[in-house]
A and B are shown apart, each in its own frame.
Chain A
């Protein structure tokens, strides 16, 4: 049976563990920072000298750490893109705008162990020569913002933050900025716009790659809360040691949020790829409710493509002779890591598994997801702005007795015009992938619903009940 491996949440849930600095220090807090600041320049065999920060960056690269926010992009690579020759200040922003439905991992860290994140952030700033950093925290986490501010004050008082940190000559200030309640503020360039005081309209890339033209048009790093915590552990244990956690190219641990029809919904920290989806659902989350059968899961937050129970995937795996061999894997046997889920056509995203059992009306489930994305589309670019609400309206109709049998195809055709680089940011994918995947895998249910509605409307017309086979347009979601 797979076991939890608690690296980041090692102490958070221990009885008596509090988010204050004293408690953190009692548990070895800020030792990694001291270690980082003490790293001496090292001369390589070719005569080049690596500064302390450069060594940390190399170590992060060596660790194989991948971003925990959603895209799973290599953290070391992201840092390597930063324009360090522009002469402009480099900013680092902690993305604490956790808002992907089904995801509730960052808030555990923020609320229970804020200093761990702050320590990881200070080290990351030191490694990237950042003098000013921001924590962009979700507006709906007011208590989280208070906890962070308290923690930052404590850190300042002990000189973990501020001028000449621990006598190292390094200065850093961190500010907390509260979001104002929009999902799109979690998109890194939307977040930057919001932090600048503007509407959180994601920026076009090119030219506005944050590593070159980010906050205030300066080079900027945006990292997720959990990612920054990992940096602390990479420094503490060394990149090579960290890379031994998890599986190749999927290193470290991952906090997985499991919600839905399971007995023990919650968050579970596991080595990446060391547990399968089935183990996460059945061993950690206690399995489905009694008497229920699995119908579907969404493996990486609500924008990830859905998996159907019993679905099988052909995955390529390295055989003992180093050659690729194709292997058929049942969905529940997929290792929960970045690469396997991507190979299976979905993603581990923000690390949130949403479990749906056989009592779920899949059309209702999609309607719910679609309504969320229609509500959260920023409306900047055409396909997402118009497509997200169009799909939501059609699904609203389909779940309010006004379906048509062609609605499944209708929805897919709308969805097909949104993703794949047609939009400014990945929200286009986020709103269209659920529609595409739900209908691809459960088309019969969508068609059956539409057909039933059509039959009922026709029968009502025959009985003279007033309803006609034509659509009576259902009330649709209104702006809030």
Chain B
């Protein structure tokens, strides 16, 4: 684990000196140095970075902005020139006064070549096009071209660049090199060595980012073959990132392969809920079913990566056991009836007789609304801590996605879980008669079925059944994060919003929606019936969120002091 810094919000880098270069004739000022992806130290800005700043796309396979440069695919070869120097080492000018450029006789790989003052980079010359065509042809001659059955189809860089630089027919008439197929690389990865273009992104990722030097190349020349150490499985908590960065269909996820053609997937920006890091993700879904999570770039949180544990923790969303009915006691009811009865009951509740156990898996907005109810009844509130072993890269020891949200909204005390025994005691003593539980099975946290049985009113909202939902007097089916919008505050104080990917199951409704109704009916306070308005209201009322707006969170969130 060599990269502990990436989960931190880095202070904005000191303003670096700018340097003027020309990309395809367009002059642009670019920083002289750029932070190294691994060490963070300033290193000379490269041509490909300058081109990116100039919004000029340079095709590439092996280059990845978050990995050390390898320079092996040769797809990013460009032509370039530098100011011609006279015998006095001073730039020579043309008759028209412009700086004379001496064009390099040899091309350079844009990914590794540093820029220099006055450099001109040419990315769209016939020579560059010809080099790209040559590299692409070489990459394809031994490639199986099994696109119809390849999982990468639709998001494959070979396909993508074939559109621009490919040939309609192949002139290759020799037998192809055959390599191992369906290699079981580890518990979550299957490798097709024939599709591999040997860019070594996966090797560099697992060596330099994940800190597990598990992959390498064996054999020689065209027979080069990607391999794990013989007899050893490629098995760390970050292996599936290699599937993401594999530009072709060589590394495939056992979980996702052959499940869905990627072009049918709807992509929704979301946040992983499996720990307090809050890795930014894209949810791939189709027809109300979630098929995969993929990391989404956010340098303040997760760079381009996420852990395998978080990535694969989505199947509960589509579980057959989901709570899909509103219930009063054991009978099926309706939202209207249930909310009416709950409002009436709560309307009669005396201050101090209500307690709330919310979940640090709930959104800031939901916790904010629950805090409104709590204020009304001077209720004792808490949520449930989930501490396990973390790692130095992305996995936080805190497995709740929104512990800070629970704390900042006042639902959770500074020591999360400290109020749970008090709630249990007061139920036992009879002073707490109404318990509101959101998204937790309190029977596992010191409030057993015997105590729950003593309550006059047990209002429960959850997603999946558990002993607490079994005993609920009012059961309100809630939503997975993928089924609603909202925001979380991660372990480092990053407030991040997520969007709705799929429709809720059955009668389930986003918690903030029915909580908003309940707060209105119980407290008489009207709030906003939209997530944007609700968030902005919260941002005004909760000091820690002051100054934030829903729109202002953007795709990558905003940091608040915690």
**Chain A residues packing against B (C-beta within 8 Å):** 182, 199, 204, 206-207, 374-383, 385-390, 393-394, 397, 404, 410, 413, 416-417, 420-424, 471, 473, 476, 479
Contact = CB atoms under 8 A, between A and B. Distances in A.
B227 to A, nearest CB: 12
Q: Which applies to chain B's interface (DSSP): helix, strand, loop or mixed?
A: loop
Contact of A207 (B108, B112, B142, B173): B112
B198 A424 contact: no
B114 to A, nearest CB: 6
B134 A383 contact: yes
A417 B177 contact: no
A476 B114 contact: no
Interface of B: 69-75, 77, 106-109, 112-114, 131, 134-135, 137-139, 141-142, 171-175, 177, 197-198, 216-217, 219-224
Contacts of A393: 174-175
A375 B197 CA distance: 18
Contact of B175 (A380, A381, A417, A476): A476
A376 B224 CA distance: 12
A381 B112 contact: no
A267 B219 CA distance: 34
A369 to B, nearest CB: 15
A381 B175 CA distance: 21
Contact of B172 (A204, A206, A390): A390
Contacts of A424: 71-72
Given A377-B222, A476-B174, A382 B197 contact: yes
Given A420-B106, A421-B107, A206 B114 contact: yes
Contacts of B171: 410, 413
22 contacts: A204-B70, A204-B109, A374-B222, A376-B221, A377-B221, A378-B221, A379-B222, A379-B224, A381-B72, A382-B74, A382-B75, A385-B222, A385-B224, A388-B221, A389-B222, A390-B141, A393-B175, A394-B174, A417-B134, A422-B107, A424-B72, A473-B174
Nearest to A404: B173
A422 B112 contact: no
A383 B221 contact: no
B220 A377 contact: yes
Contacts of A182: 220
Contacts of B109: 204
A382 B135 contact: yes
Given A380-B72, A390-B222, A476-B175, 19 more contacts: A374-B222, A375-B220, A379-B219, A380-B198, A381-B74, A382-B72, A382-B73, A388-B221, A390-B138, A390-B141, A390-B172, A413-B171, A421-B77, A421-B107, A422-B135, A424-B72, A471-B173, A473-B175, A479-B221
**Smallest CB-CB A-B distances: 7 pairs:** A421-B106, A417-B134, A379-B224, A386-B138, A389-B222, A377-B221, A204-B71
Given A374-B222, A423-B74, A379 B217 contact: yes
A433 to B, nearest CB: 15
A389 B221 contact: yes
A325 to B, nearest CB: 26
Contact of A383 (B69, B135, B197, B220): B135
Contact of B223 (A420, A422, A479): A479
Contacts of A404: 173
Contact of B138 (A206, A383, A420): A383
A308 to B, nearest CB: 26
Nearest to B130: A417
Contacts, number: 112
A476 B175 CA distance: 8
B332 to A, nearest CB: 63
Contacts of A423: 74
Nearest to A199: B217
Contacts of B175: 393, 473, 476
B275 to A, nearest CB: 35
Given A374-B221, A378-B220, A390-B174, A422 B77 contact: yes
Contacts of A383: 74, 134-135, 138
Contact of A379 (B108, B173, B221): B221
Contacts of B173: 394, 404, 471, 473
A385 B61 CA distance: 15
A207 B69 CA distance: 10
Contacts of B106: 420-421
Nearest to B175: A473
B112 A204 contact: yes
A417 B139 CA distance: 12
Contacts of A374: 221-222
Given A379-B221, A382-B73, A471-B173, A387 B138 contact: yes
Q: Tell me which of A204, A377, A386, A387 has the highest count of chain B C-beta atoms within 10 A of its own C-beta.
A: A386
Contacts of B141: 386, 390
Nearest to B199: A382
A435 to B, nearest CB: 14
**Residue with the greatest number of chain B CB neighbours at <10 A, chosen from A207, A375, A394:** A207
Nearest to A198: B216
Nearest to B71: A204
B333 to A, nearest CB: 65
Contacts of B112: 204, 206-207
Contacts of B113: 206
Contacts of B71: 204, 381, 424
A279 B70 CA distance: 47
Contacts of A416: 134
A380 to B, nearest CB: 5
